[in-house]
Structure 1
Amino acid sequence: MKASAHSPAWLLHRHPFRNTSLILDLFLPEHGRVGVVARGGRKNPLLAPFRPLWVELKAGGGELFTLRQAEPRGPAMPLAGHALYCGFYINELLVRLLHRDDPHPDLWPAYQRTLAGLAGDTPLDISLRRFEMVLLEDIGYGLVLDHDVDGQPLDPDGLYRWVPEQGLMIDPQGYPGERLLALADDRWNDDLRRLAKTLLREALEPHLGGRPLRSRELFRGGV
């Protein structure tokens, strides 16, 4: 990525660097996740999660860019309580699952929709499950929920287990086919919400490197 004109961005993560600076993980529509040094950034209140930004970046000599300028692109998303923890959760997923400087233009609108859903009336867990499925699809590990590993259409009366990097396999102790098909069609009810939470955790686990998500530990109610 070359030095940029003003680009839309979201801040995913920040940590201190030297006395007054920050290292940022920013998410940009054209460039995906990028690492950025913000010199003197600890004094800038704009450099916070869930605040839409315009940023200007300068390419450095290493893998990190330098933040030239940051301006507000709109009001901060009004996330509070459990919704705030859910926001930290999806940010952590992006930091953990996306490689730096790898464009994900289809994921950008899904991220913005999810933040809007967390700030709105959509049940929090449904917003998260929808985002997890889009994220897995975008990184090449999408859930095929209408066919099994042998390419056979899912039987609504059948039972299936999830096999990482393969798909759904017939298993008498598995998930009901009817509910898996409902998940594929985005038809939610309480039973499906419980199933989706368990299934998506199974699907994400192989890509997290065996390290727990800190945002899950913060949110004891579970996401």
Structure 2
Amino acid sequence: MTATLQAAWLIHRRPFRNTSLTVDLFLPELGRVGAVVRGGRKDPLLAPFTPLWVELKPSGDLYSLRACEPRGSRVLLRGKALYCGFYLNELLTRLLHRDDPNPAIWPLYEQALSDLLTDTALDITLRQFELAALEEIGYGVSLELDVQGDEVEPDACYQLNPEQGLVRVETGPSYQGADLLAICQGDWHPAARKAALHLCRHLLAPHLGKRPLKSRELFRGK
């Protein structure tokens, strides 16, 4: 492993000492790892959205980045799509535990970056990634069955318990069954998109902690 180049994405970087960096890398086999890059602060490759080949060497709690090469052209995100990309990176940084392999998240992330370059609505790309990623790391809930195992009915209303699932209710704030089923079917009409936004915020909240997401603040400022 230490002598082999591995595919990676850089998802976060911080200055370290005078000229170095500490970085969070996302790899298909290792998951999210932390690494020190000696003298790497001016390396143009060490930027978000650049597909990389990296050589890592274990060094205490972190790795040491021994080599870095481009794996392809940088994903050129602009405008709001750029802030959505930062949001994806921040989600990975906050949701994934270090050194915990998550190979199923890798294609989801690469697909989301590709979708940000297309005409697909940005919010739909983010919701698709959030729901699929939550499912893969064990935090997803069924949108077709309630906590009793009964099928979600289009005309019924449901509240969400992030740890258990959907609870059918008669009164109070709720999700319309038809909107939940539309999300499952990829029918992204306006009501389904609004429901998916609140649903994902609700599902993610227990796992992101109280610290606000910087990417959300940047997006609001644009």
Fold equivalence (TM over 0.5):
yes
- Equivalent residues in 2 for 1:132-171 (5 A)? 132-171=130-169
Residue 111 of structure 1 aligns to a residue whose secondary structure is: helix
Q: CA RMSD in A?
A: 1.2
Aligned length: 220
How do 1:110-129 and structure 2 match up within 5 A?
110-129=108-127
What is the identity percentage for the equivalent residue pairs of Structure 1 and Structure 2? 58
Kindly state the Cα deviation for residue 186 of structure 1 after the two structures are TM-superposed: 1.4
Residue of structure 2 in register with 1:181 after alignment: 181
Aligned-partner Cα distance in 2 for 1:106–1:209: 23
Give the CA deviation at 1:100: 0.6
* CA offset digits 1:95-145 (Å, max 9, x no partner): 001001111111100000000001111110000000001111121111210
Q: Does 1:34 align with 2:33?
A: yes
| AA aligned opposite 2:175 | Y
Unaligned runs of 5+ in 1: none
Structure 1 residues 218 and 167: alpha-carbon distance in aligned structure 2, compared to 1, 3 A threshold: same
TM-score by length of 2: 0.96
In structure 2, relative to structure 1, the CA distance for the partners of 1:132 and 1:221 (3 Å cut) is: farther
SS of alignment partner, residue 148 of structure 1: coil
Q: Match for residue 96 of structure 2?
A: 98
* Paired position in structure 1 for 2:77: 79
Answer yes or no: is the 8 Å Cα contact 2:141–2:164 preserved in 1.
no
Unaligned runs of 5+ in 2: none
C-alpha distance in 2 between matches for 1:103 and 1:187: 32
> Which AA in structure 1 matches 2:115?
G
Moved over 6 A (4+): none
Equivalent residues in 2 for 1:2-21, closer than 5 Å? 2-21=1-20
Residue 44 of structure 2 is aligned to residue 45 of structure 1: yes
The separation in 1 between residues aligned to 2:178 and 2:87, in whole angstroms, is: 29
Give SS of 2:134's match. Answer: helix
SS of 2:128's equivalent in the other structure is: helix
- Counterpart AA for 1:203: L
TM-score under structure 1 length normalisation: 0.96
